[in-house]
């Protein structure tokens, strides 16, 4: 797949660049043609074309929209500056370009919005918005919607290292004060003396089992969480150990989904969820996935959001990157069978190929894996 955006890509002007913390900056984007602004749902992301000096071409990066869907005509992305490992390496390329090169008045090319991590406005369940670091970007967009358009109880729980890197704090407080039923809890891993003096946080260290039990009454929650992998692993293990159903935990996680059920560094719950049990079925009933190279066969149970997630649950880990139909890293040969796409791929998929991250089988299929 190409690293250039498609005909659905449009130029946007950076009309504001706002420093949110020592490492995080927001960019307000307005289309040059107002008709190119598209409605989005809280939690979705934009895909941005970023110049790559090492090749003279472009790379694509996804950034969650941190503004509200009601802010028509403008998108805001809130980006943490990641340090590059070395010149020419992909880590930090996009965030350094945004932080160091892009200024107000610059034009960026975007495609969006897209993504399946979305706030379910049809549910009446109380909501937990759980974030670590720059993972606050989708949860604050969701909080904006819940504060203005819902009466559901909300617990907004955010973890970061200290006040120096805490972004969007005042915005969260303003939203929480908008109506009753919104509760805010900040956990600082390494609070400074100034943080203590100003009482900027509610707990220190890691978000613990005891903290969550004291903070949350017993209820049937819908959880939305986003953050770095160790944080996500720890929170997933903690929540499931407290009885929160896996089907009620939605997350934005750019890594193998199977990692969420493995204990990792930062696991403060003390309880690790067991690894998924592979589903192997040699019968001819129902839909099956056949991996021709490895001579393996699995029964599709219909519960996975994509072929990629399903294969990961069976212990198979195909290559991937964005998990959102953008980068093309997970494209594979489709030897036989048919699939449907829950998220339209950014580029056209040629016949005989399939994008694993956003497709599901509609018949038994065979992959060249």
Supply the pLDDT for residue 269: 29
Number of helices and strands in the chain (H, E): 7, 19
What burial class does residue 352 get, using C-beta atoms within 10 Å of its C-beta: 0-12 exposed, 13-18 middle, 19+ buried? exposed
For residue range 295-347, list pLDDT tens digits in order: 899 999 888 888 988 998 888 888 877 777 777 788 999 999 999 988 778 77
Supply the pLDDT for residue 264: 40
Residue 87, helix vs strand vs coil: coil
Map out the domains of the chain as residue ranges.
10-114, 127-261, 288-367
Supply the pLDDT for residue 312: 84
CATH 2.40.30.10 fits 10-114, yes or no: yes
Third-level CATH fold of 127-261:
Rossmann fold (3.40.50)
Supply the pLDDT for residue 260: 66
pTM: 0.78
For residue range 96-112, list pLDDT tens digits in order: 999 999 999 999 999 98
Q: Are strands 75-80 and 24-31 parallel, antiparallel or unpaired?
A: antiparallel
Residue 133 contacts residue 228 (beta carbons within 8 Å): yes
Query: Which residues of the chain carry a pLDDT beneath 50?
Result: 1-2, 86, 88-89, 263-285
CATH class of 288-367: alpha beta
Supply the pLDDT for residue 145: 98
Supply the pLDDT for residue 349: 87
Residue 77, helix vs strand vs coil: strand
User: In angstroms, how far is CA 99 from the centroid of its own chain?
Assistant: 21
Supply the pLDDT for residue 99: 96
């Amino acid at each position: 797949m190409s690293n250039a955006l498609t005909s659905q890509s449009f130029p946007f002007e950076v009309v504001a660049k706002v420093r949110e913390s020592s490492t995080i900056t927001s960019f307000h984007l307005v289309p040059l043609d107002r008709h190119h602004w598209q409605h989005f749902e809280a939690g979705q992301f934009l895909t941005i074309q970023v110049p790559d000096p090492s090749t003279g071409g472009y790379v694509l990066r996804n950034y969650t929209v941190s503004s509200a869907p009601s802010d028509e005509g403008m998108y805001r992305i809130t980006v943490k500056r990641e340090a590059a490992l070395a010149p020419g390496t992909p880590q930090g390329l996009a965030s350094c370009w945004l932080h160091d090169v892009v200024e107000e008045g610059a034009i960026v090319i975007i495609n969006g919005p897209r993504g399946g991590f979305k706030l379910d406005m049809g549910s009446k369940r109380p909501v937990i918005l759980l974030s670590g670091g720059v993972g606050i970007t989708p949860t604050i967009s969701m909080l904006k919607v819940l504060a203005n358009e819902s009466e559901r109880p909300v617990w907004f729980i955010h973890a970061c290292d200290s006040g120096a890197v805490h972004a969007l704090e005042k915005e969260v407080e303003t939203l929480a004060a908008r109506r009753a039923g919104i509760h805010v809890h900040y956990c600082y891993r390494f609070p400074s003396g100034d943080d203590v003096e100003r009482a900027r946080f509610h707990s220190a260290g890691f978000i613990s089992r005891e903290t969550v039990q004291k903070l949350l009454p017993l209820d049937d929650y819908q959880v939305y969480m986003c953050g770095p992998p160790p944080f996500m692993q720890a929170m997933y293990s903690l929540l499931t150990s407290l009885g929160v159903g896996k089907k009620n935990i939605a997350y934005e996680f750019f890594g193998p989904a199977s990692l969420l059920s493995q204990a990792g560094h930062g696991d403060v719950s003390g309880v690790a969820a067991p690894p998924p049990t592979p589903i192997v079925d040699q019968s001819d009933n129902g839909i099956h996935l056949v991996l021709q190279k490895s001579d393996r066969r699995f029964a599709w149970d219909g519960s996975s959001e994509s072929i990629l997630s399903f294969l990961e649950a069976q212990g198979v880990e195909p290559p991937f990157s964005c998990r959102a139909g953008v980068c093309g890293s997970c494209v594979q040969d489709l030897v036989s069978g048919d699939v449907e796409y829950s998220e339209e791929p950014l580029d056209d998929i040629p016949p005989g190929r399939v994008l694993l991250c956003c497709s599901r089988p509609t018949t038994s299929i065979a992959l060249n894996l």
